[in-house]
Amino acid sequence: MLGFNWGFSAEDVKALPADYRFNAFLTIAADGTVTIMSPNPEIGQNVKTSMPMVIAEELDCNWADVKVEQAPLDSENYERQVAGGSQSIRQGWTSLRTVGATARQMLIGAAAAKWGVSASSCSTSEGKVTSGSRTATYGELAQLATDQTVPENVKLKDPKDFKIIGTSRTNVDMESIVTGEPVFGMDFHREGMQHAIVMRPPAFGMKLKSYDDSATRQVTGVTDVVRFGDKIAVLSTNTWAGIKGKKALKAEWEADGTLENTTGHDRQLLSLLDKPNDKPRRNDGDVDKAFSEADEVLEKVYEAPFLPHNCMAPMNFFADVRDDKVELVGPIQTPQWTRSRVATLLNRPETDVTIDMTRMGGGFGRRLYGDFSLEAAEISSKVKKPIKVVFSREDDMAAGTYRPASKYKFRAAVKDGKLTGYHLTGAGIGGERSNFTRQDWFPAGGIENYKVESHGLASNITTGAWRAPITNFLAVAEQSFFSELAELMEVDEVKLRLDILERAKSNPVGKDISYEPEKMIGVIKLAAEKANWSQPEAGVSKGFSCYYSHNTYVAEVADVIMKDGTPTIDKMTVAVDCGIVVNPEAAINQVQGGVVDGIGHALFGDFSFVNGVPQATNFDKYRLIRMKEAPKVEVNFVKSFNDPTGLGEPSLPPAGGALANALAKATGTRVYTIPFVKGQIKIE
């Protein structure tokens, strides 16, 4: 829930003579301009447009009168100022609506008092209150309205009456983006600011032994060189001078731990897949018995590497650490957590630290971690100047917090043509307790004998959330496995999934499951219908996949065609149930982007280590999907009046599985390892 703060001082009101503030989210000016503060960080998920849309809907104003501003970190007035887990709209939904509806009620109260009529005789529409023949604009009523007692338990609209929600509204930062205005953290500049280019250890498991900065200090524009921990910051008057200064640095490093290798990880993770875990994540029925009595068993292992996030804007952050205040500005998904870590690092009270959030050049989970903000704060506190840390692409790709490498072993037992047993073991880089599975999601509840286990492998290579954490690969593996299983059982791959879901719906096996089979069935049927699943087309190989994540249900069909012996992804058909769709065109954009992201990393994502050193650090060696490899993505939303659920991530997990299943039919080759292009799949 987002919080409110109804209190504001007289001084604040004086500072805003033309604007009347209803609460921390909303002011209305005498000319009718509605200014809405967007509370959450914007990483490209478009919440800076959609969250204000929700407020404006219940306020019942014209969207054209709305001006949106990014709120700073302000934990007194806003809650959960986080971009993560696809939760901004879902968790903000009721309180954002209440913000708008409360202000609307106060405007009605003002009109009723002014006209001496009952509030119930007043109605609102397009920024006006009307009672009988009288009409007043919100701008005319704003001052009086802010003097009204704040009403409680205000009535929210019936979603069927929504006028703004459910209609496409252009990204509120569109003008800045298409004209090149400085809206990103990378663009932030403060008079007198120094640029900080940082040299970090070249390998995980290494520390700084010594360094010689004499050549660096000769570079024109370099102003200072400072060591902090095992890192060295080159300060400069412009970015290029810092880059050259860093190149001229001579540093010696020494081992401070194990220098790990991908080949070693692979061996250890594979051996964990064969090791029983005495605390399975879920264990329904008797899996051992099901396998011992099976007519047929399918067992497959799937493998995926670490992945860097590769946000288009490399990490960056501004800090000005002064005696009176610590000012931080930049792109951060977790401003509140970052403030507390910076306060601890500098041994200052949190009240000394402010954070302004800029638009982010991508997040994907990388900007949850704030390591770059802490670096900026530490460097600024050392040099006692305002500074901005800027990572090069190489710094960005080598700095860690990767999607963890992981592997899965799936086993299925089939008896008398029926699926009787299912056993999944996951293993990945992470702490011993990390869970690489989602044991209570599909197909839990739909299979009589069901067991899920997970193992973590400790490493000094740092890992973290990467768009749709864990499921970004788990879903690829699981959905590939089910289609291969359907082939073995000689049933249609859609029917196999529906049969499992019918069981989970009508008579679920074991303890609670944490997904709604009915909704999964809904998207499966919609995707199958829209992709003409039951009517095969000559020359087109179709692959199916479905997945539940971030409270949203998605099913996808990949169409692969062969051109001169090479597979080409012609089209992806997607069905999504995310409840109410707030901003349809932007929602389509999110889904298309997630699908392209999922396909791109399944095809090309390749990242390995030799002696702790990442083997790719720029886009010459690290392949990202480009326009000609990206298929057309057709998006279909389930019509729904349910409260909205997540949308930034859920279309990603199923994409790779649908593709793998279509590729198997088109090429005769099944892929079990990411990147697919490393196997027998050749994509130009």
Q: How far apart are CA 237 and CA 243, in angstroms?
A: 11
Half-sphere exposure of 368 (CA within 13 A, CB side): 19
Largest CA distance in the chain: 82
CB of 554 to other proteins, least distance (A): 15
Decide whether 430 or 644 has the Cβ nearer to other proteins: 644
Which residue type sits at 218? Q
CB of 19 vs other proteins, minimal distance in Å: 28
Of the pair 393, 525, the CB lying nearest other proteins is at 393
Q: How far is the CB of 222 from other proteins (least distance, A)?
A: 12
Task: Please give the Cα distance from 477 to 137 (Å, whole number).
Answer: 57
Query: Rounded to the nearest whole angstrom, what is the least distance from the CB of residue 37 to other proteins in the complex?
Result: 20
CA torsion angle for 233, 239, 245, 251 (degrees, to 10)? 40
Query: Shortest distance, CB of residue 622 to other proteins, whole angstroms?
Result: 9
Instruction: Kindly provide the b/e burial profile for residues 137-173, where b requires at least 16 CB atoms within 10 angstroms of the residue's own CB.
Output: bbbbbbebbbebeebeebeebebeebebbbeebebbb
CB 358 → other proteins: shortest distance, Å? 11
Distance CA 438, CA 432 (A): 16
Shortest CB 303 distance to other proteins, Å = 24
Which pair of tokens denotes residue 581? Answer: 């769709």
Which residues of the shown chain bind other proteins in the complex (CB under 8 A)?
43-46, 168, 170-171, 173-184, 186-187, 189, 195, 220, 238-241, 243-244, 310-314, 359-364, 390, 392-393, 585-586, 589-590, 592-597, 600, 618-620, 624-628, 630, 632-633
Q: Which is nearest to 319 in space by CA: 398, 390, 367, 369? A: 390
Q: List phi, psi (to 5°) of 39.
A: -75, -30
Measured from the CB atom, is 89 or 504 closer to other proteins? 89
What is the smallest separation between the CB atom of 505 and other proteins, expressed in angstroms?
33
3-state secondary structure of 413: strand
Contact of 590 with 612, CB cutoff 8 Å: no
Q: How far apart are the first and last CA of the chain?
A: 48
User: What is the token pair recorded at 578?
Assistant: 């995310």
Q: Which is nearer to other proteins, 45 or 549 (CB)?
A: 45
Which lies closer to other proteins via its Cβ, residue 83 or residue 154?
Answer: 83
User: What one-character-per-residue DSSP string does 315-351 give?
Assistant: -EEEEEE-SS-EEEEE--S-HHHHHHHHHHHHT--GG
Considering beta carbons, is residue 7 or 182 the nearer one to other proteins? 182
Q: Tell me the two tokens of residue 204.
A: 């995980």
Nearer to other proteins, 529 or 585 (CB): 585
Integer Cα distance of 333 and 370 in angstroms: 8
Is 579 exposed, middle or buried, given 0-12, 13-18 or 19+ CB atoms closer than 10 A?
buried
Give the nearest distance from C-beta 603 to other proteins in angstroms: 13
Cβ distance to other proteins smaller for residue 64 or 627: 627
Residue 93 C-beta: closest distance to other proteins, Å: 21
Q: Give the nearer residue to other proteins in terms of CB position, either 85 or 593.
A: 593
Q: Which is nearer to other proteins, 197 or 494 (CB)?
A: 197
Name the nearest CA neighbour of 604 among 622, 619, 588, 589: 622
* Alpha helices per DSSP H over 560-651: 584-604
